[in-house]
Structure 1
Amino acid sequence: MDEKKKIIEFKHIVKSFDDQVVLKGIDLDIYENEFVTLLGPSGCGKTTLLRILGGFIEPTEGAVLLNGQDIKDLPPYKRELNTVFQKYALFPHMNVYDNIAFGLKIKKEAKDVIDQKVMRMLKMIGLEGYEKKDITLMSGGQQQRVAIARALVNEPKVLLLDEPLSALDARLRKEMQYELKRIQQEVGITFIFVTHDQEEALTMSDKIVIMKDGEIQQVGSPEDIYNEPVNRYVASFIGESNIIPGVMVEDKKVKFDDQVFDCVDVGFKDNEKVDVVLRPEDIEIVPKDQGKLTGEVLSVLFKGVHYEIMVETVPGTTVTVNMHVMNKNANVVKKDDEAISANDFYLDLEDMEGIDEKEIIARADAQAWSLTSDDYLSIAKVDTDLKQEVGEYHVTFSTSSGLSVTRKIRVIDQRVVENKKANEAISAFNFFKTTDEIQESMTLDTDLMVWANAQAWKLNNEDETVELFVDYDFDQETIKEGVYPVTFSTTGREFKIHTTKYVEEGKEVGLTFEPEMIHVMEKMGF
């Protein structure tokens, strides 16, 4: 079989607008007769790349080759390309025939040749007999077909399509996906299609180019990209996925959720942190004693062809504490030009060993400042009767001028919430804050974790931390005095499964999957 010929080569394409880089060195080859889709969210650079190829904008750096020739200096009308735009850009004062014939008339082709070509296009797009029809009276799908015919009648080497289906309703979109693929196969030229719709990409493409933030993440067939995504971004963008953090113990052995599983992936470093993807249709629900994982059915949703079932295999761990909110001046002492403030706070008996003045100042959020300049003053002295015993103690913070504030330290034997199934533990303290401190916080979620000294760790390795999330039900801007619950929790693990078998909610089940269904990906930063 002959090797396919390269028709387009993007060589290190960089594009900047007002110092913002929107394409960051794109290298991409496109071959004859391919249906290529540039897929990604709004702002990823896919339309910019298409416009550079069409000649509507110039790259900041790099070259575009068409059949081996640099086309940078060629204007759009001299490039062997045609574009179908999102809005179609048809001429409202022309009928269907004249819209399709427009480019041929500009080239001054013979009338009989124009007639033959236009009628052939009308037949191909299924609009025979519509040549005299007013373009403004046609449906969106019909207008789109006319726009495609107008582009194809000029016999371009490449057809560029910039989200041409976005204006159509869902039913018509699906019809046109198959129609576009049929037309591309019939005319036998290269189509380059821009979309943010994964279904369109999977349905029509020979090759998909996944883009993010001006860079290509992965290039491959729909099957390659769906079955072997290179990273979390691609896996979550194409199809539905269960994505789990894991560790590649060694070749063909991956660990996640504290278990080691056989897989088929190789080439990672031993004990390298990875992401693991398991597609919902690749997981089978079995009796509890037959599962590689076990869990509880949380929800069952009928989707027409299959059930979408959520199974919790690892319950999240949760702890709720009380945030005591006081008036903004409740903890402030003023004299002359100085002010000083501090909060009551809790200490865990275990955390007391080696505690020093700096940590006590930090835990109490003690601070002093000048009333006229707002400049911070140092806390010169810390006096406390604190002992390494459960109880209530006092601490006094003073400035060098002698202005002081006294607050309470409550030493407790802190309760730790253990979750043996998740192999993790979590703890957090009640805490005291003023309305001002909460309203002025720039990163409230982070500050709440710090104020509550919230932390989570693995039971079998206290040095291994677990990510925490915070939940609360108050408005930061309008918070008033009172006591507010704040909940800290870990995520746990839920798996989405697609199956034709019904399973009732609340049932304990097993989950199983084959080694080849586990896809290991490199960790990526966001």
Structure 2
Amino acid sequence: MEQEKNKLIQFRHIVKEFDGQVVLKGIDLDIYENEFVTLLGPSGCGKTTLLRILGGFLEPSEGQVILNGEDICEVPAYKRELNTVFQKYALFPHMNVYDNIAFGLKIKKMSKDVIDQKVMKMLKLIGLEGFENKDVTLLSGGQQQRVAIARALVNEPSVLLLDEPLSALDLKLRKEMQYELKKIQQEVGITFIFVTHDQEEALTMSDKIVIMKDGEIQQVGSPEDIYNEPVNQYVAKFIGESNIIPARMICDKKVRFDDITFDCVDVGYKENEPVDVVIRPEDIDIVDVKDGKMTGEVESVLFKGVHYEIMVETVPGTHVTVNMHVNKNYAITSEDGKEKISANDFYLDLEDMKDIDDKEIIARADAQAWNPETDEFISIHDIDTDLKQEVGEYTVTFSTNNKTSITRKIWVVDQRVVENKKANEAVSAFNFFKTVDEIKESMAIDTDLKTWANAQGWKLDDENETVDLDVDYDFDPETITEGVYKVTFWTTGREFKIHTTDYVEEGKEVGLTFFAEDIHVMEKMGF
């Protein structure tokens, strides 16, 4: 347990606003002596803003920054016991390596021999002995990086702030510098606060990782904690690769997903609480079908150098394809030219016939009447149809008060339902008719296609539990012409990503297994 006395920096409810936009939403964070702390998150999450507030380059809108027990919000940057290494290094191009490193000591008016000793010690620490008279502009990126670190460390700050200092380096050098930095931090024994959006960098170097999203801290912990016990889906996705599955906590140590109940080690959730589960790809083993906790088919195999990345579909998705008939825009005009009326043919399911009324028929046919001069809508007064509760082809006539009318067809069908027992779900959708204009004017085509086709998905064991549908089509709504188009509504199945050194061929039926402690239960995230 970390002792109170080791607390070096305390952020207390730090809020920062820029032009009315809140970029830090009340950050509370403690940082201890000699820790290597990484602030990790995507661009715009607030990590650099927090670092700049600590460095004294920005003032918080609210809150306190406490360093060694003293609130330093009013202390100017140059008086804080902190030094910053920037992404761009900011070395002085007209000075050699020695003078760059000695710069801060000369400002402090130290004696020449003390400066000499300190600079030589730093050159040794960063592995650049013999480089003191070199022109910094002729150094490689990695060497310039080291000089920038030495220049900051020579002032013996109690904290070193590093703002994405490795992002300008190529991959190989970056990896070398990660180890180098960690080594330097351990040797000089001060606190390093490092900002990055590179998860691997954070895992390699840190004692503590602070994961940020939208100006808030999501989780603080050691690399092992954050990798093995992410608090939510965001953290699990951000750190390492993961299989994330919606689940339900049946009771302590029992979690249910994909219609199977598994043993796990998590406790403290409500009974039947919706949760997310993460299982890391390296924690799943591919075994014989008979030995698997679940079974599936190998969808793809990718060789990644050290291991294979294998995708196994354990629950197939369900899909239904319908025809969308696109007709030209067709409206009937009254004899006096003062009214127009239009409607579409449509399909009806035998099931939906039971409680169909006039309003529903108008909606399904998209029937409307209007005054062409003013574009004002006119109400449809009469609906005349020979519709019966049996499969067949019927007519329907829509009329206004002035007897402007249009006749359309209704096909009553016994709608095909696609059932998927393995996924415990079913989907259905209808063929439908639309005009070119209706499609071009759609503001949200995916949603409209679902509505027009009356596409629905549900659980077989509970018809009240709906299943989300995606939609696929191969037309461009902007340039669509008359014709018949295929539209597919589908549910995503369940795929597991597995990292293994064993090759498995595509198409093979396999079993998947994992231990209870490989299942990490997380609270559901509100997005």
Which category describes the TM-score, using the shorter chain as reference length? over 0.9
1:480-507 CA-to-partner distances (Å, cap 9, x unmatched) read: 1111111111000111111111111111
- Corresponding residue number in structure 2 for 1:463: 464
User: How far, CA to CA, are the matches of 1:509 and 1:54 in structure 2?
Assistant: 55
1:22 is aligned with what amino acid? V
- Corresponding residue number in structure 1 for 2:330: 330
Answer with 348-357 or 400-409: which moved more.
400-409
Shift of 1:312: 0.7
Runs of 5+ in structure 2 lacking a partner? none
User: How far, CA to CA, are the matches of 1:331 and 1:46 in structure 2?
Assistant: 59
- Corresponding residue number in structure 2 for 1:409: 410
Task: Tell me the TM-score normalised to structure 1 length.
Answer: 0.97
1:372 is aligned with what amino acid? E
User: How far, CA to CA, are the matches of 2:338 and 2:60 in structure 1?
Assistant: 61
Shift of 1:110: 1.5
Task: Report whether the alignment pairs 1:12 with 2:7.
Answer: no
Answer with 34-43 or 94-103: which moved more.
94-103
2:201 is aligned with what amino acid? E
Answer with 195-204 or 111-120: which moved more.
111-120
Runs of 5+ in structure 1 lacking a partner? none
Asked if 2 retains the 8 angstrom alpha-carbon contact of 1:331 and 1:343, the reply is no
- Corresponding residue number in structure 2 for 1:177: 178
- Corresponding residue number in structure 2 for 1:434: 435
Answer with 279-288 or 478-487: which moved more.
478-487
- Corresponding residue number in structure 2 for 1:95: 96
Q: How many residues align?
A: 525
For the residue of structure 1 that corresponds to 2:495, the secondary structure is strand
Asked if 1 retains the 8 angstrom alpha-carbon contact of 2:386 and 2:396, the reply is yes
1:86 is aligned with what amino acid? Q
Answer with 184-193 or 300-309: which moved more.
300-309
Task: Report whether the alignment pairs 1:66 with 2:67.
Answer: yes
- Corresponding residue number in structure 2 for 1:163: 164
Instruction: Specify whether residues 332 and 44 from structure 1 end up closer, same or farther in structure 2 by C-alpha distance, changes over 3 A only.
Output: farther
1:441 is aligned with what amino acid? S
User: How far, CA to CA, are the matches of 2:405 and 2:62 in structure 1?
Assistant: 64
Give aligned-pair identity as a percent.
80
- Corresponding residue number in structure 1 for 2:208: 207
2:275 is aligned with what amino acid? V
- Corresponding residue number in structure 2 for 1:289: 290
User: How far, CA to CA, are the matches of 1:219 and 1:181 in structure 2?
Assistant: 19
Shift of 1:333: 4.3
Asked if 1 retains the 8 angstrom alpha-carbon contact of 2:332 and 2:405, the reply is no
Task: Tell me the TM-score normalised to structure 2 length.
Answer: 0.97
- Corresponding residue number in structure 1 for 2:138: 137
User: How far, CA to CA, are the matches of 2:377 and 2:119 in structure 1?
Assistant: 80
- Corresponding residue number in structure 1 for 2:525: 524
Task: Report whether the alignment pairs 1:311 with 2:323.
Answer: no
Asked if 2 retains the 8 angstrom alpha-carbon contact of 1:10 and 1:26, the reply is yes
- Corresponding residue number in structure 2 for 1:187: 188
1:247-276 CA-to-partner distances (Å, cap 9, x unmatched) read: 001111100000111111011110111101
> What is the CA RMSD across the aligned residues, in angstroms?
1.4
For the residue of structure 2 that corresponds to 1:119, the secondary structure is helix
Task: Report whether the alignment pairs 1:52 with 2:26.
Answer: no
Task: Report whether the alignment pairs 1:369 with 2:370.
Answer: yes
Asked if 2 retains the 8 angstrom alpha-carbon contact of 1:332 and 1:342, the reply is no
1:88-120 CA-to-partner distances (Å, cap 9, x unmatched) read: 111111111111111111222212111111111
Instruction: Specify whether residues 378 and 94 from structure 1 end up closer, same or farther in structure 2 by C-alpha distance, changes over 3 A only.
Output: farther
Asked if 1 retains the 8 angstrom alpha-carbon contact of 2:331 and 2:340, the reply is no
Shift of 1:404: 2.5
Task: Report whether the alignment pairs 1:197 with 2:173.
Answer: no
- Corresponding residue number in structure 2 for 1:381: 382
User: How far, CA to CA, are the matches of 1:64 and 1:506 in structure 2?
Assistant: 58
- Corresponding residue number in structure 2 for 1:510: 511
User: How far, CA to CA, are the matches of 1:83 and 1:167 in structure 2?
Assistant: 16
Shift of 1:2: 7.3
1:160-187 CA-to-partner distances (Å, cap 9, x unmatched) read: 1111111111111111111110111111
1:361-390 CA-to-partner distances (Å, cap 9, x unmatched) read: 221222233323333333333222211111
